[in-house]
Amino acid sequence: MSSVDKALETQIKNIQTKTGKTLDQLYAIIRKSGLSKHGEIRDMLKSDLQMGHGDANTLVHIYLKAESGGGAEPASSDDVLDQIYTGPKAALRPIHDKVMEAINKFGEFEVAPKKAYISLRRKKQFAMIGPATNTRVEVGLNMKGVKGTDRLTELPAGQMCQYKVKLNDAKEVDKELIDWIRQAYDSAG
């Protein structure tokens, strides 16, 4: 089982523990609401069950997939990454894989797939990885006390990450980048 599969399985178990409800009971709540749009269901779960945004979002994805006959199981990591790195962006997948290979050596963390990138979390998000264009992957990092450089771009306050690094080739996944990611990982707790 991949780290994405394990992370989603753990997240589903945690959702059930936090809410005190089984997956079937949660599905029943969603059905009873009469809502059908992703955002509406997510917001209802956040409001009615005090779920966090990420948990509510994941539950809605799984629910909608189950309701459409796709089964209750979350997509495998390969499925998620195949959707993100498709068409002209497929050539960027080796960059992503090389970054993840290095990060997987750090220890445990959660992988939360999004529509166009993956979010990496410990107690809080420490990195985001995804294709920014058809020719570039961006690694977003959350860490403090690091001076930006030409390569480590500081982002304005209020962004999802504090820094980003642009990667056009797997050869750019070097010690400097891995050290920055490690610093973000360590600070995320």
Render 5-72 in DSSP notation, one character per residue.
HHHHHHHHHHHHHHHT--HHHHHHHHHHHT--SHHHHHHHHHHHH---HHHHHHHHHHHHHHHTTS-S
Which is more confidently placed, 6 or 106? 106
With beta carbons less than 8 A apart as the criterion, state whether 127 and 163 touch: no
Q: How confident is the model at residue 128 (pLDDT cuts 50, 70, 90)?
A: very high
Q: How many domains does the chain have?
A: 2
With beta carbons less than 8 A apart as the criterion, state whether 179 and 185 touch: no
- DSSP strand pairing (137-141 vs 153-154): unpaired
18 plus 60 within the same structural domain: yes
44 plus 21 within the same structural domain: yes
pLDDT digits (tens, 9 = 90+) for 135-179: 999 999 999 889 999 999 999 888 889 999 999 999 999 999 999
pTM over 0.75: no
With beta carbons less than 8 A apart as the criterion, state whether 139 and 162 touch: no
32 plus 55 within the same structural domain: yes
- Work out the percent of the chain whose per-residue pLDDT is above 70: 91
Which is more confidently placed, 176 or 78? 176
Is residue 72 a part of any domain in this protein? Answer: no
109 plus 157 within the same structural domain: yes
Residue bearing tokens 């980003």: 164
Q: What is the pLDDT of residue 137?
A: 96
Q: Residue 31 is part of which domain span?
A: 3-67
pLDDT digits (tens, 9 = 90+) for 61-71: 888 887 776 54
41 plus 91 within the same structural domain: no
pLDDT digits (tens, 9 = 90+) for 1-39: 555 567 778 888 889 999 999 988 999 999 999 888 888
